[in-house]
Amino acid sequence: MIHLISSKFLDISTIQDILHADATLDLSTEATEKIRACRNYLEKRLQDQKAPIYGINTGFGSLCNVKISDEHLSKLQENLVTSHACGTGDRVPKAIIKLMLLLKVQSLSYGHSGVQLQTVQRLIDFYNHDILPVIFEQGSLGASGDLAPLAHLALPLLGKGTVYYKGEEIPSTEVLKAFDWQPIQLKAKEGLALLNGTQFMSAYGVYSLLKSYKLSYFADFFAAISLEAFDGRIEPFNDLIHIIRPHNGQLKTAKRIQEFVEGSELISQEKKHVQDPYSFRCVPQVHGATKDTLAFIRKTFETEINSVTDNPNIFIAEDEIISGGNFHGQPLALALDYLAIAMAELGNISERRTFQLVSGLRDLPDFLVNNPGLNSGFMIPQYTAASIVSQNKQYATPASVDSIVSSNGQEDHVSMGANAATKALKVVDNIERVLAIELLNASQALVFRAPLKSSEFIEAFLQTYRMTVPFVDEDRELHIAIRDTLSFLQLTFVENEVLFG
């Protein structure tokens, strides 16, 4: 599969397809022409105008009033990339680095950034050959773009820095030599075009959002399995209730649960209890609110990844080069904080369902094991889930309300969107673990409901799952069961129509 970079709207579903198919990138004729036209315009403008133009023939940040002579413009851009590559901390996951390359190419392709065609093509070459610059999590304030991470993304263009290639971390010079590539000689404006931008925040956001949609589906599915195992009631999922409070996510969740348990002997049997706890009864309302939040976040990020976020911006038709602030990450910072909060709630309610299942209620054995006392059974996985959801509450503290002054006061308000991005992913990864623990518990509990069966869909899923994680007859190392459940979920592909429909 080849994905053509163009002005066609790039949505989350398309990115999922690109990643799943391991597609290669190529520039459309339209994008190629826009990049060339913008560069040609900029070259002519530099010949005709000697007045300072920020970032093109001036210094950067608080050095914006320092004019740079023409013979030093290329060195200026190289120095910019080199000096700004001061990230630290943990390494950015490779999947996110690859997304950064895709999103940076997309942003540069609109013809408002003034880069050389060969610069964009080299980024595409990196993407297509899985040459991934080594980037670090810490260093971006999320305001003048993601300066430090994007500097590390750009270093290998110059034959500097290190890259991941064929399972190794090697100097970029070795990769350039292997492909017989010369280092890119950056021209005026290019370094700033590469460094200004929100592709670090955006890549984290897109990656976390794609994973969140999958986990949102699993949260509904595992809630349905838990409902069956807890001998829950179906009435709270009746359409009539949700039509009179018609939040989209609530309606969708209730419909999903009904579909999951359709044909179940357990759900249709007579119940001894009148009501279920909120963690079961309010699944549509809680899970639905997260779905509605994901819809807002999706809109924010789809707008962002189809935008030009470097500075200054070049407008050929209007004969204008304008310095503004499209690199500021505030929209993303708010959305990423919202994502962390919304996903944390899926973990909160999931852990409560797990707690109910191990509590010896509704004819289920204490801690879901035979001979409780001799066996501790599923006592401690609930502790693990409780620990994780409490950690998520700490991670869900907003980063976007913070700011700090930088660059001698020139950059006096920042979004902290990069910090919001990295901790949002921590929350999402944690939710995967909490949901894995719920599935482990719910599947164990359902065995004690035999000979009654759940729906055909649930029974078929659990039959496949049991090949990876068998029923626990007596105590064993349950961290292995949690680990294997996580692997099972990560290998389970959910169709786009199900995730985004």
Sequence letter at residue 227:
L
* C-alpha closest to that of 207 among 4, 422, 401, 360: 422
Please, are residues 267 and 237 in contact by the beta-carbon 8 Å criterion? no
Distances (CA, A) of 188 to 20, 39, 53, 73, 317: 37, 10, 10, 5, 20
Active site residues: 54
Would you call the peptide bond into 284 cis, given omega within 30 degrees of 0 as the criterion? no
DSSP alpha helix (H) spans, 23-128: 29-48, 73-84, 94-108, 117-128
Please, are residues 145 and 309 in contact by the beta-carbon 8 Å criterion? yes
End-to-end alpha carbon distance in the chain: 23
d(CA 424, CA 418): 10
The b-or-e profile of 137-166 (16+ CB within 10 A means b, else e) is: bebbbbbbbbbbbbbbbbbbbbbbbbbbbe
* C-alpha closest to that of 203 among 352, 16, 435, 421: 421
d(CA 343, CA 212): 7
d(CA 136, CA 89): 6
Q: Which helix (H) or strand (E) holds 283?
A: helix 283-305
